[in-house]
Amino acid sequence: MKQSQLFGKTTYEIPKDEQSMNAQLLIRGGFVDKSMAGVYTYLPLGKRVLAKIENIIREEMDAIGGQEILMPALQNKKDWQTTGRWDIDVMMKVKTFFDKEYGLGWTHEEVVTPLAKKYIRSYKDFPFYLYQIQTKFRSEKRAKSGILRGREFSMKDLYSFHTSEEDLNKFYDLAKDAYFKIFDRANIKNKTYLTYASGGDFSKYSHEFQTVSSAGEDIIYICEKCNIAINKEIVENNHPKCPKCGNENLKEDKAIETGNIFKLNTKFTQAFNFKFLDKKGKENLVLMGCYGIGPSRLMGTVVEIFNDKNGIIWPKSIAPYQVHLVCLGNDDNIIKEAEKIYNSLQKEKIEVLYDDRNESAGVKFKDSDLIGIPLRIVISKKTLEKDSVEVKRRSEDGFKIIKADKAINFIKMNQES
């Protein structure tokens, strides 16, 4: 992609109506644009990051047997009334000219449960796992923290269906592992803790995945022995205690809830009377679990964690491009050399953003720092004289000089490592 054609612009002015680091950097870098409080447009750069995150999630969900579907965001009132959740305050409602009301989905149990019921009768069809990546709407009383808490946001939600508690438990653990793989691939696993949180009224706990960050809205207590945490919301009498080993020497931290997994058991299958026939031909209620992770929130979390005073530092796995090719000077020879490398990189299917703009070196460097692509290649009069290019990692100081004819190979190797 030539940067001169890229829709979206970097800016050095900090938007005055954004305090959160993730929103400031993402807006300044041209990744997102705020449409209204808690509602953002993803510009080409931001959309690429989001797509990468979604693909990682997709791969890990497929790996544990998930089947991707897409449910509607616009939902019927009746099913929400069935579960008694129509009049919940996070529910957004739309009304037509003829006064017909619909709900905008903030979660999808009310769609997926009737859906499954329609197709499934026999124990032979179990277990199965349906997921989607979709836009959710929640009427947050106060949107805040940039893309971390929006009123419209992207969400992957998986629902699992089982004939027994053992089976549900087995899959629950599998999903837990899959989530850690996702966090690992997004480079935030070492800051992410499986966290015990409120289980509502049908189980003692749910599990959250909490990623330690000063931008977090939750307080967690980490047990460094067990490598798990407990959410402040379920701490009794101000005495945090590890729910696993009883350790009381826990570390308090702020954290972002990056994921949540939940055993729903029969809460929704009961409401919709979703039963299956077992081997003996007897009817039983189906058991369910749900597993959520927000790609957009994950994106914001990564920005909160990986940045410095100059901008974002994307992990390779979710960077919008792998290589930022920066061409300094508009001398014909320099441009020719830059184009040559640009074409070679494209031929090698290496994602490259090529800064071909007629801007000063300072502007290009600052923009490159801000956008935060992992690897930067600089071509200039200086490098041309030495028949070489300059290679710099965004995450490190300093740079390497590499002979021009070896550059492509070097970058290819760098991609694989």
Partner RNA sequence: CGGGGCGUAGCGUAACGGCUAACGCACUUGGUUUGGGACCAAGGGACUCCGGGUUCGAAUCCCGGCGCCCCGACCA
Interface residues with RNA (CB under 7 A)?
9-20, 34, 36-38, 89-90, 107, 109, 140-145, 149, 198, 200, 206, 217-218, 260, 262, 264, 267, 290, 292, 310, 328-330, 358-363, 365-367, 369, 378, 380-383, 390, 399
Q: How far is the C-alpha of 83 from the C-alpha of 18, rounded, in Å?
A: 37
Min dist. Cβ of residue 145 to RNA (A): 6
Nearest to 373 by CA among 317, 412, 328: 317
Min dist. Cβ of residue 403 to RNA (A): 14
Of 37 and 94, CB closest to RNA = 37
Contact partners, residue 140, CB within 8 Å, separation at least 6: 38, 90, 149, 150, 151
Of 37 and 63, CB closest to RNA = 37
Of 123 and 216, CB closest to RNA = 216
Terminal Cα-to-Cα distance of the chain (whole angstroms): 24
Contact partners, residue 107, CB within 8 Å, separation at least 6: 136, 157, 290, 292
Min dist. Cβ of residue 269 to RNA (A): 12
Min dist. Cβ of residue 12 to RNA (A): 3
Min dist. Cβ of residue 349 to RNA (A): 26
Min dist. Cβ of residue 225 to RNA (A): 27
Min dist. Cβ of residue 281 to RNA (A): 31
Of 200 and 282, CB closest to RNA = 200
**Residue 182, burial from CB neighbour count under 10 angstroms (0-12, 13-18, 19+):** buried
Q: How far is the C-alpha of 167 from the C-alpha of 128, rounded, in Å?
A: 11
Cβ pair 331, 85 in contact under 8 A = no
Long-range contacts of 356-364 (CB under 8 A, 24+ apart): 356/2, 356/3, 356/4, 356/327, 357/3, 357/4, 358/330, 361/328, 361/329, 364/326, 364/328
Q: How far is the C-alpha of 274 from the C-alpha of 113, rounded, in Å?
A: 8
Of 9 and 282, CB closest to RNA = 9
Of 36 and 63, CB closest to RNA = 36
Of 270 and 284, CB closest to RNA = 270
Min dist. Cβ of residue 110 to RNA (A): 10
DSSP string, 217-267: SEEEEEETTTTEEEEGGG-STT----TTT-----EEEEEEEEEEEEEEETH
Of 38 and 66, CB closest to RNA = 38
